[in-house]
Structure 1
Amino acid sequence: MRVDFYQLTRDPAELVLPALARLTLGAGERLLVVSEDGAQLDRIEKALWDRPDSFLANGRAGGAHDARQPILLSGQADPANGAKFLALADGVWRDMAGATRVFLLFPPDRIDDARACWRMLGQREGVERKYWRQDGGKWREGP
């Protein structure tokens, strides 16, 4: 499993997630986006639908068509859409059975939690970790 840590210093998760979602779908994968903050999920949903170039179809967990959603938004790490890619939009680590790639997006005030998660995942067998930080409008791999 690969875990990408994204430190959000310039843009909030709802502005970063559409790009990650587009890359995920381009790789032929499905995405589960998780946040315990319902208002954040509302903003993410709007950002995915309101793309100027093209919308990214998505739905909220608990609907009749969860299994068909290419991007499913949820408060829990339960991939009802069969996703193997997981985006943790609220910066809180959750394990998801079967995940092959995880995006942990965290703001500066959650840096200590992210560091603890980095150390914890470093103890696990078969986990590749990458750290990304915003540098102006671009993402740079960090130390």
Structure 2
Amino acid sequence: MLIGKARQAGWRVAVRGRDSARMDWLDQKLWLGPEDGFLPHGRAGGAHDARQPVLLTTGPQAANDPACVMTIDGAEVSAEEVAALERTCVLFDGNDPAAVQTARVQWKALTDEGCAAQYWSEESGRWEKKAER
């Protein structure tokens, strides 16, 4: 859903993970696509990375010049990178205590560096903003 919204805004997106196998899994899920349409994307390391509207990567740099970076599974993002992007999304499983702790550490590090941040939760069944800094 978030990738689709970023694409609707006209942004190129990089989805950054930490594990190549996990990115392969996500690639497979995206190929299945949402019921209402296909989400064009590619895995980093291909011949056409720079042309991909959505690039799945485990590296810190994305060849598709993204306006939006979405990190998963605790992948790192720096305050400098956040400042240069239109949007940065740190996605995590709120039911996984280790993932929550990693996200808290990222939140603190980024906000301590002056990045504006919002925390959204789907805990109630719909998205609600829980905090802003």
Return the TM-score normalized by structure 2: 0.83
Aligned twin of 2:71: 88
Q: Contact 2:16–2:75 at 8 Å: present in 1 too?
A: no
1:102 paired residue number: 88
Match of 1:139 in 2: 127
- The answer to whether the 8 Å contact 1:68/1:81 transfers is yes
Match of 2:106 in 1: 117
Task: Verify: 1:71 aligned to 2:51, yes or no.
Answer: no
Aligned mates of 2:112, 2:10 — CA distance in 1: 30
Deviations 1:20-58 (A, max 9, x none): 110010000000011122222122212222122111010
Q: Which of structures 1 and 2 has the larger relative contact order (alpha carbons within 8 angstroms, sep 6+)?
A: 1
Q: One-letter code of the match for 1:24?
A: A
The runs of 4+ residues in structure 1 deviating greater than 4 Å are: none
Q: Give the unaligned 5+ runs of structure 2.
A: none
Give 1:62's aligned amino acid. G
Distance across 1 between alignment mates of 2:42 and 2:125: 28
| % identical aligned pairs | 34
Tell me how far apart the structure 1 counterparts of residues 125 and 19 of structure 2 sit (CA, whole Å): 26
RMSD: 1.7
**Structure 1: which 5+ residue stretches go unaligned?**
1-18
- Alpha carbons 1:32, 1:77 under 8 Å: kept: no
Report the number of matched residues. 124
Partner of residue 2 from structure 2, selected from 20, 39, 44: 20
1: distance between equivalents of 2:26 and 2:126?
20
TM-score norm. by structure 1 comes to 0.78
Contact preservation (8 Å) 1:34, 1:73: yes
